Amino acid sequence: MQVSQPPTHSEAPLQLLLFVDDRPSSRQQIQQIRAFLKQLRHDYAFELQIVDVGEQPYLAEQFRLVATPALIKIHPQPQQVLAGSDLETQLKNWWLRWQQSVENYLKLTALPENVAVLLPPTPIRSIADSAELLKLSDEVFRLKREKEKLIEQLQFKDRAIAMLVHDLRNPLTAVSIALETLETNLLPQENRPARLKPELAAQLFKQARSQARSINRMITGLLQVASGTSSELHIEPTKLDMIGLCQEIMAHLGDRLQAKNQTLETDLPCDLPCVYADIERLRQVLINLLENAIKYTPASGTIRISALHRTSQKVQVSICDTGPGIPVENRDRVFEERYRLQRDRALEGYGIGLALCQRIIRAHYGQIWVDSGLSCGSCFHFTIPVYPV
């Protein structure tokens, strides 16, 4: 804020602010109004401050200016704003009335001009102080936003690590079982020859290698997310056979179903179109939902996985169980990170699996939701885009 020869308060109860900018188109107009104000000053004392809106935009916001240059009479009250291409003409029309407002102000305060120094501090100084406060407030707001963003990043890194722990457990278990089986049955032991058929050994090697690759992709993907500022997951969608993926996962979880004597029903139409999805991320969703169904369905219960071509753009997959169900008031909250129903606190889990499923599906521009009722089991549904033909 520039000050143009500020006189003392006793000399200038009339106080003006001139808002200018650095646009070439307005330079001539600004020069004319400044020259006119300088000419007026020879006959009548007033205090003038010039504000560059490029340097102090918050002052323009404070006075709600929509155009510059603009001249504002801030004292005596009431404030008055002159703006537009005919600024000089407007000032000529108002100048005598502004002088009269000063005389009226001095009469109302019952103070002659020669003792006007007893008047309150100049509004221009108050505005200058206000401008600094606004500037500091903006800086405080910016720092608060940065703090919130940093806290959000730290919290997300914690969530990413927890998700990594949660989703690595199953492939690590599969790799461990495959390697232990190979070690026990492929290598000859003391007084016992190797007894594993080459075909089965090749299958176990393939399974271990596949799961190891899945682990590597999970770690890479989650570390990419944790290193960024966004909570969105990185996906690499490709053309994907949903039926084939479902069958692969069902075979992978067959032992767990058999251990609880559970029945797995399927409704996977052979004409289901391919989807456009990240295979590893979609595998995470299916495994998570099926594992939850196995965990919450009692022994000898039934689990059902179905798919349908819902529209020309979406395929819907549903996984239903005959478990205890989810109370209506908790259906939305089960997708929150680290949220667990009170009844499930003693069960194994981190409370982040469904939150991860939701983020994966949303990253594919799909939806995920649950239909459930107490003692009626739960049905989790999600949609995924069809591969464009």
Residue 88 and residue 369: Cα distance in Å, rounded? 65
Residue-wise pLDDT for 354-368, tens only, equals 887 888 899 999 999
What CATH number is given for 2-120 in this structure? 3.40.30.10
The answer to whether the beta carbons of residues 16 and 48 sit under 8 Å apart is yes
Q: At what angle do helices 242-252 and 279-296 cross, to 10 degrees?
A: 50
Question: What is the rounded CA–CA span in Å between residue 273 and residue 353?
Answer: 27
Mean pLDDT, residues 3-11: 42
Kindly state the tokens that stand for 149. Answer: 């963003």
> Measured between alpha carbons, how far is 79 from 81 in angstroms, rounded to an integer?
7
The dotted CATH code for 235-389 is: 3.30.565.10
- Indicate whether 130 pLDDT > 60: no
- Every domain of the chain and the residues it spans: 2-120, 139-231, 235-389
- Spatial distance between the Cα atoms of 297 and 303, rounded to a whole number of angstroms: 8
* % of the chain at pLDDT higher than 70: 75
Instruction: Number of helices (H) and strands (E) in the chain: give both, helices first.
Output: 9, 12
Preceding peptide of 76 cis, ω within 30° = yes
Record: fold of 139-231? Helix Hairpins (1.10.287)
CA geometry: angle at 317 spanning 289 and 173, to 5°?
30
The phi and psi torsions of 47 (rounded to 5 degrees) equal -100, 130
pTM: 0.49
Using pLDDT thresholds of 50, 70 and 90, give the confidence band for residue 289: very high
> What does the pLDDT look like over 195-236, one tens digit per residue?
667 778 788 888 788 778 777 766 765 565 555 444 456 788
8 vs 380, which has greater pLDDT? Answer: 380
Judged against a pLDDT cut of 60, whether residue 113 lies above it is answered with no
139-231 and 235-389: identical CATH topology? no
Confidence of residue 316 (pLDDT cuts 50, 70, 90): very high
Neighbour-count burial of 160, counting CB atoms closer than 10 A to its CB (0-12 exposed, 13-18 middle, 19+ buried): buried
Range of weakest confidence among 85-89, 264-268, 333-337: 333-337
**Range 281-288 average pLDDT:** 90
Maximal CA-CA distance, the chain: 121
CA–CA gap between residue 246 and residue 259 (Å, rounded): 20
Quick one: pLDDT at residue 349?
44
Q: What is the mean pLDDT of the chain?
A: 78
Q: Check pLDDT > 90 for residue 338.
A: no
pLDDT at 8: 41
| pLDDT value, residue 387 | 92
DSSP of 35-92:
HHHHHHHTTS--EEEEEETTT-HHHHHHTT--SSSEEEEEESSSPEEEESTTHHHHHH
| Three-state DSSP class for residue 12 | coil
Which residues are registered as beta bridge partners of 318?
A: 306, 381
Round to whole Å and give the CA distance between 221 and 366: 19
Residue 2 pLDDT grade (very low, low, confident, very high; cuts 50, 70, 90): very low
